Amino acid sequence: MPTITLVGAGSMVFAKTLVGDVLSFPELSDSDICLMDVDEARLSKTTRVAEAMVENEGLDATIRATTDRREALDGADYVLNMINVGGTEPFENEIRIPERYGVKQAIGDTIGPGGIFRALRTIPTMLEMARDIEDLCPDALLLNYTNPMSILCETMFEATDVETVGLCHSVPHTAEAIADYLDVPAEELDYWVAGLNHLAWFLELERDGEDLYPALREAMADEETYRRDTVRFEMLKHFGAFVTESSHHVSEYVPYFRTDQSTIDAMRGEGYAERMATATYLDGWTARSAARDDPDIEADLDEVGVERSEEYASRVIHSMETDTSRRFNLNVSNRTNAIENLPSDACVEVPCLVDGTGVRPCSVGELPTELAAFDRRHATVNGLVVEAALENDREKLHRAVKLDPLTAAACTLDEIHEMTEELLDANAAYLPAFD
């Protein structure tokens, strides 16, 4: 009976999904599940839904809830992290202030000025949680869902002894999109994917031993298909590989698509490409935050059941608890030299084998030179942000923002410096002091 703790469980929809995933496995259906959040009202809603799932399905799981993080972590075997530090106000500043300087982020939660400052306000809490884990459950596996994934996981690798892996659904979601474009069942795709989170590459794409890249290029030539994923098809056309984030999001990682309004307009389309407009995600995120407070979300508790989603966490736990071998793309330290031409201290997203022995990253070798160039630059930015946060170094923070590809394409160095100072001032209440 594993003890599984969810930190940030006030995010009720996601927490409900993860709890349902765990309970969907008979071998995990008697788990001790502890829900923790600092927002007691939201936590109470999540708890009632989780308890209803257990009762309606007649399971033996135990549901506990607390606002005390140390109580939640005491004796945990697995810790699922999904915290959001600061809420709406700093997130909006991280989008709107850069926008005034011409840095037109679409999401701004993993890279760019938005991702960097989101990391800065999240890292102190992550380190506090790590100290609690080291004290109360030193053998626990931390499964991190919180963004910015690469920066936060690299911080944990660098500054703590907590075994940490990052979980993201961008790889399976991208596989589903490719399958749709090719009109083949997603479960029949075989692929080998590696890089950084949100900037990993389908290095191999096959079905029954047949290379599917020619078919994907053929599909790209169809205008209707192209309009569904414009930026990713452009990256495929020019750099030879399909990348693992949606068009509007990956457009933030490169300097080509977001500095000119006419280009942004040209890249709009259907599906993944429909949100190329600046900060449309911010508006949606604000609406979703409000929805989490809607009491109607708890309606019909007597009908709440257990379903299994595509999220990795429950499968990772099940593999480790039952010694069932599975392969996932996870975010891990590159200290194993999984990707030979990326920095050894980087957080990389690579295929990993998981079973009763734990998580074992696979060896990918070298990425193609042109693909490694994109990832290496972001790995450098991520590393500088980690150093800035751990060393309280204001200058390293400035250099990190100046090296961001989209920011550098939109602004002069002096403008970036001024923008960074403005972001520091606007979000001072949520940030550590910098020398």
pLDDT level of residue 300 (50, 70, 90 thresholds): confident
State yes or no: pLDDT of 346 exceeds 70.
Answer: yes
* Nearest-angstrom CA–CA distance, 302 and 249: 38
pTM above 0.85, yes or no: yes
Angular region, 87: left φ>0, alpha ψ -120 to 50, beta rest: left
Would you state the pLDDT for residue 347? 98
Would you state the torsion angle of the CA atoms of residues 365, 371, 374, 376, taken in this order, to the nearest 10 degrees?
20
Closest CA to 272 of 243, 253, 247, 236: 247
* Fold exhibited by the domain 3-166: Rossmann fold (3.40.50)
Summarize the confidence of residues 148-165 as an average pLDDT. Answer: 98
* Listed range (151-160, 174-183, 292-301) with the worst mean pLDDT: 292-301
Summarize the confidence of residues 221-229 as an average pLDDT. Answer: 96
State yes or no: pLDDT of 270 exceeds 80.
Answer: no
Q: What is the pLDDT of residues 48-95, one digit of tens each?
A: 999 999 999 999 999 999 999 999 999 999 999 999 998 888 999 999
Would you state the pLDDT for residue 277? 61
State yes or no: pLDDT of 323 exceeds 50.
Answer: yes
Would you state the pLDDT for residue 294? 47
Would you state the pLDDT for residue 295? 45
pLDDT level of residue 293 (50, 70, 90 thresholds): very low
Rg value, the chain, Cα: 21
Select the more confidently predicted residue: 315 or 435: 315
Q: What is the pLDDT of residues 193-213, one digit of tens each?
A: 999 999 999 999 999 999 999
State yes or no: pLDDT of 245 exceeds 80.
Answer: yes
Closest CA to 216 of 173, 179, 252, 269: 179
Amino acid at 271: G
pLDDT level of residue 286 (50, 70, 90 thresholds): low
* Nearest-angstrom CA–CA distance, 57 and 6: 21
Does residue 362 contact residue 330 with C-beta atoms inside 8 Å? no
Total count of residues recorded for the chain: 435
Would you state the pLDDT for residue 433? 81
Helix (H, G, I), strand (E, B) or coil at 366: coil
169 is catalytic: yes
* Nearest-angstrom CA–CA distance, 321 and 415: 52
* Nearest-angstrom CA–CA distance, 283 and 64: 34
Mean pLDDT of the chain: 93
Q: What is the pLDDT of residues 384-412, one digit of tens each?
A: 999 999 999 999 999 999 999 999 999 99
State yes or no: pLDDT of 125 exceeds 50.
Answer: yes
The sign of the dihedral angle between the CA atoms of 415, 418, 421, 426 is negative
State yes or no: pLDDT of 296 exceeds 60.
Answer: no
Closest CA to 31 of 70, 57, 13, 11: 57
State yes or no: pLDDT of 353 exceeds 50.
Answer: yes
Would you state the pLDDT for residue 434? 81
Domain ranges of the chain: 3-166
Eight-class DSSP state of 303: G
Does residue 207 contact residue 214 with C-beta atoms inside 8 Å? no
Phi/psi for 83 (5° steps) reads -75, 155
Q: Which two tokens stand for residue 413?
A: 């160095």
